[in-house]
Structure 1
Amino acid sequence: MTARYDVDLPDGRTLVVHDTGAHTDAHRDEPAVVWHHGSPQSGALLAPVVAAAAARGLRVLSPARSGYGGSTPAPGRSVADAAADVGHALDALGVPACHAVGASGGGPHALALAALRPDLVRGVVTLAGVAPYDGTDAWFAGMADDGGLRAALGGRAARERFGETAEFDETSFTEADYAMLAGSWAGLGDDAVRAGQEWPGGLVDDDVAFVRPWGAALADVTAPVLVVQGGADRVIPRHHGELLVTGLPAGELWLRPRDGHVSVLGALPVAYDWLRAV
């Protein structure tokens, strides 16, 4: 049975964590999976994430980043700040070890948790994850719509103003992406729409954090990392995966040439198997 925890953080804020519960007996000694959601998302458990883990007897915890899904906002938070919140919550919930898995905007946060808490994180998977901003225009290359991230360079207020009139660019997704959203991952699309409407500040804070120093270095991620990137991704292009692997001490790139930003999530079951083997 799934549960929701409202975890008290050291500074008085609250972090909402969704939890599928304990492992099956056969896998009780394996690390839990900590799912770091994309931008925007509520943090609620997604059916394909849970189903693939359940088939392997694994527990999934899904924290809602500050500003999303009932977690207290923290304007100006860095990627490392959000990851530290997750570390505190896992300690409070008595989770001794985990695998950090992040999709899209969750990728940086999964990596930051591994950098900050090597005692806790055994392995990492990023799917369509964002690479650290390097200050060059090339970082934006291949994005169908880079307006939000470019606006974020001007700070939180500039990103908020952009969001007041911004509309989703439908060319950001491929035919394969739309097929996924019409099928098994429909819940992700519904949740993203809800999160964008109810918690727009969460997306603003994410975008600003992505184009500023993360507060955690890729070089400090000692756990093995599988970087899964779609070659046809028009949201976070393939070169972000290449940038990530270049900076990681133990990174492995799995490039899926035909996948877009959503369809790459079809790799999740095999990525779970990869984690269990590290």
Structure 2
Amino acid sequence: MRTEVYTDDGRRLEVEVSGDPQGSPVFLLHGTPGSRLGPAPRPMLLYHQRVRLVTYDRPGYGRSDRLPGRQIAHVSKDVAAIANALSIERFAVVGSSGGGPHALACAALLPDRVTRVAVLVSLAPRDADGLDWFAGMAASNVHEYLQVLAGPEQLADSLRKRSIDIRTDPRKLLAQLRRELTESDLRVVADAGIRAMLLRNYREALSVSADGWVDDALSFCAPWGFSLADISMPVLLWHGEQDVFAPVSHTRWLAERIPGGRAVLHPRAAHFASLRVLPDVVTWLLGGRSRLAADRG
């Protein structure tokens, strides 16, 4: 079910609700670039797990209105507005890749509403003390984040030019990424179903503009607007140790600073392997027995 939610400041957020309408609510926060149509467990699996999955386009992506200058922290207000519109009081949150920092914001800023949080292949704050932020990161991502430091106009010009090509043919983004994919990631994106889902996701994300992509990149490199020390609920942090888009050192840094945070690191997995662990992550979010419990962090 697709619906629109309007925030207190009048912005439109495009929302997708799938799975069991009577199930336990879980918010899934998409990656960068991404949309509400991003990778998610299959509808039949959601019904089997009795999950009501809520996704939405972050401001500037897809059909959601832009919010210039947004911080990572602002996601908590939008998630709360959607939950209120859907009459959801308590819910779990999972964020993958660019959605990871946003999921942590919900954990820190919505402690009375969020039950559990899972964060997959996330970045750490740009000013993370003691972390070599660029170490082990793919050249394309290093270039993108250095453009942030050079100035928002340069970044916006670059990403808008890329988005025009990707909007016309989203396979171009996968082709660009393929040059830096590890063997693990190549196996994941070789799956026709996953590849089709990624292409649909990228097309929708950039269907109107590259504004969401630009604003995500800027927000990752600015102060996030909340403290990790304020997180009080259980947090699972999953990462593939071969990841070159968000190096595993970022999750190690986060896990050391989140009270109750638990890192699960997979030595043979990389970035896109997070798509395959989503069903087990959802099981953990609902308090069930998950195969992730057997992994060693």
| Percent of paired sites with the same residue | 35
1:112 equivalenced with 2:110 (yes/no): no
Residue 268 of structure 1 is matched in structure 2 by 278
1:4 equivalenced with 2:2 (yes/no): yes
Per the alignment, do residues 155 and 191 of structure 1 end up closer, same or farther by CA in structure 2, a change over 3 Å counting?
farther
How far does residue 214 in structure 1 lie from its aligned partner after superposition? 0.8
| CA distances 1:77-134 after superposition (whole Å, capped 9, x unpaired) | 1111133211111112111111110010000111101111111110011111111112
Alignment partner of 2:54: what SS?
A: strand
Listed as ranges, the gaps of 5+ residues in structure 2 are 163-172, 289-297
How far does residue 53 in structure 1 lie from its aligned partner after superposition? 2.8
Alignment partner of 1:178: what SS?
A: helix
Q: How does 1:1-278 map to 2 (within 5 A)?
A: 3-20=1-18, 22-24=20-22, 28=23, 30=24, 32-44=25-37, 46-48=39-41, 50-134=43-127, 138-144=132-138, 145=140, 146-164=142-160, 168-183=176-191, 184-194=193-203, 195-196=205-206, 198-277=208-287
Alignment partner of 2:236: what SS?
A: strand
- 2:30–2:55 CA contact under 8 A, matched in 1: yes
How far does residue 66 in structure 1 lie from its aligned partner after superposition? 0.3
- 1:15–1:64 CA contact under 8 A, matched in 2: yes
Equivalenced residue count is 271
Alignment partner of 1:172: what SS?
A: coil
- 2:237–2:264 CA contact under 8 A, matched in 1: yes
Listed as ranges, the gaps of 5+ residues in structure 1 are none
Give the TM-score normalised by the residue count of structure 2. Answer: 0.84
- 1:173–1:262 CA contact under 8 A, matched in 2: no
Per the alignment, do residues 163 and 69 of structure 1 end up closer, same or farther by CA in structure 2, a change over 3 Å counting?
closer
| CA distances 1:142-200 after superposition (whole Å, capped 9, x unpaired) | 11121112211234212113325667343332222122223142234203431246431
Alignment partner of 1:226: what SS?
A: strand
Per the alignment, do residues 48 and 175 of structure 1 end up closer, same or farther by CA in structure 2, a change over 3 Å counting?
farther
How far does residue 54 in structure 1 lie from its aligned partner after superposition? 2.7
Alignment partner of 1:139: what SS?
A: coil
* AA matched with 2:94: V
Give the TM-score normalised by the residue count of structure 1. Answer: 0.90
RMSD of equivalent CA atoms: 2.1
